[in-house]
Amino acid sequence: MRLDLVLELLDVPGQLLDVMEPISAAGANIVTIIHQRDVKTEKGMVSVQVTIEGDKETLDAVLNLLRERNVNIVEIDGVIQKEKIRTIIIGKIIESDIKDTIERLNNLEGVLVADLDLKMAEHPKESAAKIIVEADFGMKRDVMNKIKEIGEVKNFLVINEI
Amino acid sequence: MNICIMGFGAVGKGVAKVISIKKDELKKKYGLDLKITGVSDSSGAAISPDGLDPNLLLEVKEKEGRVSQYPEYGTDNLTGLNFLEKVDYDCLVEVTPTNIDDGEPARSHMLKAFKDGKDVVTSNKGPLALNFRELTEAALSNKVKFKYEASVGGAMPIINFAHDTLAGCNFESIFGILNGTTNYILSRMAKEGSAYEQTLKEAQEMGIAETDPTQDVEGLDAACKIVILANSIMNKDVSLKDVYINGISKINQESILLAKKEGYLIKLVAEASDDTLEVSPRLVKSGTPFSVDGTMNVATLNTDLAEDVTVVGRGAGSIETASAILSDLINIWKS
């Protein structure tokens, strides 16, 4: 049987090899591989599409090995493993410790702040920031509530998706 | 069918106007002869068991500023519950100015009408958002009809639509843009890159925002409406105080630009779902039904059988709101 994977890799030498190794170690065959270094995701990562072949145990072993190596698996057989959640916040974003804001989100299991775009307004007006969070599928509500909670503590206006 | 109208502002006058326009058609189509036997405003009333002339009512109100100047049938100082004692009617059209602190005097007017065995049609959000169960139960126990389509979304069909057309469905969530004023302001800000304060001022000059815009821009108006929908359509027992509310007065150009870059717009959205009752600015994708411009209203009902059903329509305006009241009156007549 075959398995289609979409992975995300850091754009540094040796990354692709790190992914190939567990595939061959488990005994699976690579059917196709598409690797475009020019196309970057929001996090500046490179997306790799791989189709591998093998029996079920082999394919499961590949997935386990990839997870052990902390390879970011975005899609398995067309099923998205991560979803993007966009939010805009308005308030005194820098003054109220932007690093802490990001950490509070990253501390949620399976959640990572992937992008942050900040527009400063002239004093005394309030700044606005767009935050894109990548989270394990099904985490959307939790992430949205967490952002709301942070907003309440730090007096941000939170503009979540619907 | 004899009706009395309490409150003769934009909506009350709109009701008189549509009755005047549609009188013959209503007779022909439904055999319905709508007679206005009484009208009251804040300073007095006009009462005639034989029916008042809607055009003359509008003329008197326009010229004199009060309906009590209506020739022969006008009386000063007859308002509120006393008015209801004197007038002979089958259905009360309650369209007095809405009050979101205690719902009065509209709440008392409606309760009295129910007690006297009369049907009630209203556009009045205040009492519905504060005392929904009290009112619907009073109507039920007095075996009279109580309809309030015009209280949410003006001419946009939603309450009767959910109860009648989508009968049999359960409603899992409702999302809506339910306030035309804020949608107008946000649409202009997105289109023209103007600042919030300036856009609000323009809207006030155009008569789209009120002199005191608090109820609209701080989300209270939309909150009243989502409470009515949650109670009426989702069978919840909630009140205005249960709504988590954030208005639009903090929205700046920076945030609108950031949203645009992602292909999104910022809209004031009301949500009623399993664990949420909320009015707040939200990100909506451009090109979806929720990206409506100007003073339009939109709502999506998520149902168990029909999936998502979305309605769009004019959320305010004298004639538009009166159209919803007229449809309630016709439905009461037909049943």
For residue B225, indicate whether it is catalytic. yes
Residue of B nearest to A89 (CA): B255
Q: How far apart are CA B163 and CA B149, in angstroms?
A: 11
The count of structural domains within chain A is 2
Residue A44 pLDDT grade (very low, low, confident, very high; cuts 50, 70, 90): confident
Residue B237 has pLDDT above 90, yes or no: yes
In CATH, what number is assigned to the domain containing residue A46?
3.30.70.260
Q: Determine whether the interchain pair B282/A162 forms a contact, defined as Cβ–Cβ distance below 8 Å.
A: yes
CATH class of B165-314: alpha beta
What per-residue confidence (pLDDT) applies to A157? 96
* Overall average pLDDT of the B242-261 stretch: 96
Query: A9 with A76, same domain?
Result: yes
What per-residue confidence (pLDDT) applies to B162? 97
Query: A61 with A119, same domain?
Result: no
What per-residue confidence (pLDDT) applies to A81? 85
Q: How far apart are CA B100 and CA B215, in angstroms?
A: 9
Phi, psi of B182 (to 5 degrees): -70, -35
Work out whether strand B296-303 and strand B307-314 pair parallel, antiparallel, or are unpaired.
antiparallel
Q: For chain A, how many residues are written?
A: 162
- Residue B157's SS3 state is coil
What per-residue confidence (pLDDT) applies to A124? 67
Residue A102 has pLDDT above 80, yes or no: yes
Q: What is the pLDDT of residues B156-189, one digit of tens each?
A: 999 999 999 999 999 999 999 999 999 999 999 9
Domain residue limits at A46 = 2-80
**Residue of A126, A127, A162 lying closest to B269 (CB–CB):** A162
**Residue of A117, A128, A161 lying closest to B252 (CB–CB):** A128
Work out whether strand B244-245 and strand B91-94 pair parallel, antiparallel, or are unpaired.
unpaired
Residues 6 or more apart whose CB falls under 8 angstroms from that of B126 comprise B98, B99, B100, B101, B102, B103, B106, B107, B224
B251 touches chain A (CB under 8 A): yes
Share of chain B above pLDDT 70, in %: 100
Q: Determine whether the interchain pair A130/B251 forms a contact, defined as Cβ–Cβ distance below 8 Å.
A: no
What per-residue confidence (pLDDT) applies to A123? 67
Instruction: Show me where the domains of chain B are located.
Output: 2-155+318-334, 165-314
**Is B4 within 8 Å of B37 (Cβ atoms)?**
yes
B108 touches chain A (CB under 8 A): no
Q: Give A-chain residues touching B217 at CB under 8 angstroms.
A: none
Residue B218 has pLDDT above 90, yes or no: yes
Query: A87 with A65, same domain?
Result: no
> Rounded to a whole number, what is the distance in angstroms from the first to the last CA of chain B?
13
Shared fold status for B2-155+318-334 and B165-314: no
Q: What is the pLDDT of residues B296-335, one digit of tens each?
A: 999 999 999 999 999 999 988 899 999 999 999 999 999 8
Write down the pTM of the prediction: 0.87
A contact residues 96-155, partner B, Cβ 8 Å cutoff: 117, 119-121, 125-130
Q: B35, B125, B147, B225: which one is catalytic?
A: B225
DSSP designation for B165? I
What per-residue confidence (pLDDT) applies to B10? 93
Residue B100 has pLDDT above 90, yes or no: yes
Residue B263 has pLDDT above 70, yes or no: yes
Q: Which of A112, A26, B254 is nearest to A5 (CA)?
A: A26
Q: Determine whether the interchain pair A128/B254 forms a contact, defined as Cβ–Cβ distance below 8 Å.
A: yes
Q: Which of B250, B255, B266 to mutate to test the interface with A (most CBs of A within 10 A)?
A: B255
What per-residue confidence (pLDDT) applies to A72? 86
Query: A105 with A141, same domain?
Result: yes
Is CATH 3.40.50.720 what the domain over B2-155+318-334 is classified as, yes or no? Answer: yes
Distances (CA, A) of A54 to A4, A59, A119, B324: 12, 6, 49, 64
The owner of tokens 């990206």 is B291
Residue B291 has pLDDT above 70, yes or no: yes
Q: Last residue of some domain: A31, A58, A80?
A: A80
